Amino acid sequence: MTIKRDRLLRCLTDAKHNEFVKIITGIRRCGKSYLLFKLFKNHLVKSGVRKDHIIEVDLENTDFYPLHNPLNLLAHIKERIKKDGRWNYVLIDEIQNCQKVLPPGTDLSSIHPDDRESAYVTFYSVLSELRTMRRVDVYVTGSNSKLLISNVATIFRGRGQSIQVTPLSIAEFMPLRKGKESQSIFDEYLTFGGLPKCALLKSDSEKKNYLEELYRTIYLRDIVERNKIKNPDVIEALLDVVMSGIGGLTNPNKITDTINKVAKISTSNKTVNAHLGFLENAFLIAKARRFDVKGRRYLESPCKYYATDTGLRNARINFRQNEPTHLMENVIYNELVRRGYSVDVGVVPLETRASGKHEIRQYEIDFVVNKSDERIYIQSAYAIPDQEKRAQETFSLRHVGDSFRKVVITGNLREKPWHDENGIVFIGAMTFLLDPNCLENP
């Protein structure tokens, strides 16, 4: 079955021939290879590109193991580039598997210690050279943001373009569930997430087994090996704490205390902070910082963490905390990021008077989202059974004190957008998730 990823495919087709290295990133098994080697390759062939002008290298395939050496990789690709005036398309999967090597005959002892790292040939060297070749268009996938995204600007000097692939959105997931009701689809998505292969499995037990196996054989092993973690128990305990508390305010100190006291594993704030970075670099989690909307400044602590995929989150904690309130908030966060917004957690400080004393209380807005000069304040409210709950959910929005749009996304899934007496827009979760323009035209 073909899974359509039209938005992502359009990102690739729009970027053709722009002289940038196209770097396709995202969590493992989210569909990067399928996007590049199936959907994009099909587009090239249908556009008239000859197959011998498409050079494919799968660095996860053992047949290509010798190409983990960047010198071999470059030679392999150069041998296959056609110099006939037509475009050549180089597609490389999981580029981070390419290791750094010293050129033959290099004597490190003759190089100053500060300069030794630059003596190595890396995959960055390969991509930089390919990018400068005439009529060669380069596309690579990778599963580590530290190795790829963070080095786009420096290594490629502004000639790298990052395209992030996420698990399936609900809009991409729904065609796989034709004939099912919205509530059933929504509940399944909250529980099992949007990893493509998981979405194609039929039974709940198959989905559970698949997600749990991914943790054991792919994600944890990759993080431990890549970051040379000496005590894997710490990263496992950290995952349990973070995944149990998605959407809750926390910080490394609090997480460390929980690991030490509850999991009975001795660790430090420094280690936990570093390991959180490893999880972010592997795209398993994402961090949302707190933003004071009145003071217009970021607050250092606490922050929130969200799971890249709710199915993986639930699998990590054995499907024992299936809270729709937090899971819906997580899905909304992921969708906002998918749509290109920068997403923060809002804080509205208000002065109150209690027992004759003045004090400042902080009220939360789930999301403050920005894109260019646009800002929107968003609350996630799974259930609003009465006027009291509605007043509670909109309290912080009503006290922001500016004219930017305010939105409440509700668990009344198909609720069409409407405005209350304060100008706050209410919209159902499925209406929001299925319409990429609903925030622009509420």
| Band of pLDDT at residue 150, cut at 50, 70 and 90 | low
Of 438, 440, 373, the closest CA to residue 410 belongs to: 438
> Is residue 1 included in any domain, yes or no?
no
pLDDT at 143: 87
Average pLDDT, the chain: 93
pLDDT at 314: 97
The whole domain housing 48 covers: 6-164
Do 261 and 243 lie in one domain? The reply is: yes
In the numeric block, the tokens 């395939």 are attached to 61
DSSP 231-245: -HHHHHHHHHHHHHT
Of 419, 424, 422, 441, the closest CA to residue 432 belongs to: 441
Q: What is the mean pLDDT of residues 368-379?
A: 94
**How far is CA 128 from its chain centroid?**
25
Do 48 and 178 lie in one domain? The reply is: no
Do 90 and 177 lie in one domain? The reply is: no
> Is residue 68 included in any domain, yes or no?
yes
Do 214 and 152 lie in one domain? The reply is: no
Whole-model pTM: value is 0.94
Do 46 and 153 lie in one domain? The reply is: yes
pLDDT at 156: 67
**CATH number of the domain residue 38 falls in:** 3.40.50.12060
User: pLDDT per residue over 54-86, tens digit each?
Assistant: 999 999 999 999 999 999 999 999 999 999 999
User: pLDDT per residue over 4-33, tens digit each?
Assistant: 999 999 999 999 999 999 999 999 999 999
Do 129 and 211 lie in one domain? The reply is: no
Q: Which of 115, 136, 164 is the last residue of a domain?
A: 164
User: pLDDT per residue over 177-205, tens digit each?
Assistant: 999 999 999 999 999 999 999 999 999 99
Q: Which of 164, 189, 224 is the last residue of a domain?
A: 164
Do 252 and 392 lie in one domain? The reply is: yes
Please count the structural domains in the chain.
Answer: 2
Which of residues 438 and 166 earns the better pLDDT score?
Answer: 166
Do 134 and 199 lie in one domain? The reply is: no
Do 227 and 361 lie in one domain? The reply is: yes
Q: What is the mean pLDDT of residues 375-380?
A: 97
User: pLDDT per residue over 268-308, tens digit each?
Assistant: 999 999 999 999 999 999 999 999 998 889 998 899 999 99
> Is residue 303 included in any domain, yes or no?
yes
Do 152 and 181 lie in one domain? The reply is: no
Do 40 and 100 lie in one domain? The reply is: yes
Q: What is the dihedral of CA 52, 57, 61, 67, to 10 degrees?
A: 120
Examine the pLDDT at 153 and tell me if it is beyond 60.
no
Q: What is the mean pLDDT of residues 395-412?
A: 96
Q: Which of 102, 137, 164 is the last residue of a domain?
A: 164
HEC profile of 170-223: HHHHHHHHCCCCHHHHHHHHHHHCCCHHHHHCCCHHHHHHHHHHHHHHHHHHHH
Examine the pLDDT at 227 and tell me if it is beyond 70.
yes
- List the structure tokens of 422: 């304060």
Do 367 and 312 lie in one domain? The reply is: yes
